[in-house]
Amino acid sequence: MQLQGEESGIVRAAMEKDLDSVKLDDSILVLLKFVRLLTLESHKNSPDEIQKLRDAGWVDAQIAEAVLVVGMFSMFNRVADAFGLPDPGYFEKEKTGNAIVPATRSSE
């Protein structure tokens, strides 16, 4: 399975918080670790964290986009939790071969 053009091993490593186990470009790894920081411990973000991204080659517009995407998904998750929306279980369905993920659904 591919998700947004990435191999499933990379997606699984990200889900399992084991990014160091897969071969990733260093700049991507720095970005993913930043995203994890914002998602789990945003209060620990600092100018030093932003500088790590710049040192890895990311420009401010790209950093801002990453921050906005993280914030958007955080908002979606909080709204879903507040309204008690069920988890669609896409990843569990993938394991059984029954997954149809809307973002990757074929137009057939």
Q: At 87, which CATH number?
A: 1.20.1290.10
Averaged over successive runs of 10 residues, the pLDDT of the chain (108 residues) comes to 57 75 86 92 96 98 97 92 84 63 48
Residue 11 domain-assigned (yes or no)? no
Residue 8 domain-assigned (yes or no)? no
Q: What is the pTM of this model?
A: 0.70
Q: What is the pLDDT of residue 47?
A: 97
Q: Name the domain count of the chain.
A: 1
Q: Which two tokens stand for residue 99?
A: 């997954």
Q: What is the pLDDT of residue 11?
A: 73
Q: What is the pLDDT of residue 106?
A: 43
Other Cβ atoms less than 10 A from the Cβ of 38: the count is 19
- Give the burial string for 83-93 (b: 16+ CB within 10 Å, else e): eeeeeeeeeee
- Cα–Cα distance for residue pair 98/25, rounded to 1 Å: 32
Full domain range(s) for residue 95: 25-104
- Cα–Cα distance for residue pair 15/80, rounded to 1 Å: 19
